[in-house]
Amino acid sequence: MITAKTIEDLLKEAWEEFIKYFDKNNDKFSREFFDQRSKELSEKEAKEEVEEFHWVCWNESDLMMQLSRYFYSQREIRSVSDNKFLGIEVHLDKNLNYPNFKGYHFDGKLKKNGDLEKELGRFPKLDLIITGEISLDPFLLCAEAKHFHSSVMYVTVDEAIEKDIKTLSVIKKLGITDAIAYIILDDYYCRHGRKDVEKIAHVCSKKFNIDNDLKIYYHGSRKKVQ
């Protein structure tokens, strides 16, 4: 039987492999672009242009897609080592509402004016859902993600994180998922916003202490030409 702990282990291994891939290519692509642009611009101007462009991941959807590749790879490795097929699937960007999950054991909580809407005031779109192949049980793991590649607009960094973590905490409390994870890829603040990096760390630490079931994966990439 696949457990949430198995999924958490696989996700952690996939995250570590993805980070290696991201940093390697973030460095490679930014240097290639810098070499091209520095032929026409000053070094300062070329570096400023490097900061504006992103190649490996453009947004959270790209981040989840890339991470899923490594998750499936880790699943296959584990399947072979355990001598059994791990029947699990990854789903991205899915609206958590009654029409999409009618018939699931928790579907009553997704109805209009049900527990989920009362708690959140909305029906969220989840960045990542991992389930058993043929299962109407609670999800094995749900994750939200943030890819900081520029300064956030309209909200503060901590407000953006708080909203996602509240979503995860509520669906875990309601029994919609067995495990929750929050994934942060920082390709901006770690180089330009020390105070914002401290905010990220503070909010994540505070939330982890409140709900230590929440697994947090953070990486600040410094692999661009600076």
pLDDT value at position 13? 94
pLDDT value at position 223? 77
- What is the per-residue pLDDT across 66-91, written as a single tens digit (0 to 9) for each? 999 999 998 888 887 777 777 889 99
Residue 210 has pLDDT above 60, yes or no: no
User: Alpha-carbon distance 183 to 170, whole Å?
Assistant: 17
Using the structure block, give the residue that is written with the tokens 């939200």: 144
pLDDT value at position 53? 83
Q: Across the strands, what pairs with 217?
A: 183
Count CA atoms within 13 Å of residue 41 on its CB side. Answer: 14
**Which of 29-43, 155-169, 192-206 is predicted least confidently?**
192-206
Instruction: Please state, in angstroms and as integers, the Cα–Cα distance from residue 172 to each residue in 56, 107, 138, following that order.
Output: 31, 14, 9
Mean pLDDT taken over the chain: 89
Prediction pTM value: 0.90
Per-residue pLDDT band for 212 (boundaries 50, 70, 90) equals low
pLDDT value at position 130? 96
- What is the per-residue pLDDT across 40-60, written as a single tens digit (0 to 9) for each? 888 888 888 888 888 889 999
User: Alpha-carbon distance 4 to 129, whole Å?
Assistant: 12
Domain boundaries, the chain: 4-220
Other beta carbons within 10 Å of 95: 12
pLDDT value at position 221? 85
**Burial letters 50-86, b for 16+ CB under 10 A, else e:** bbeebebbeebebbbebbbebbeebbeebeeeeeeeb
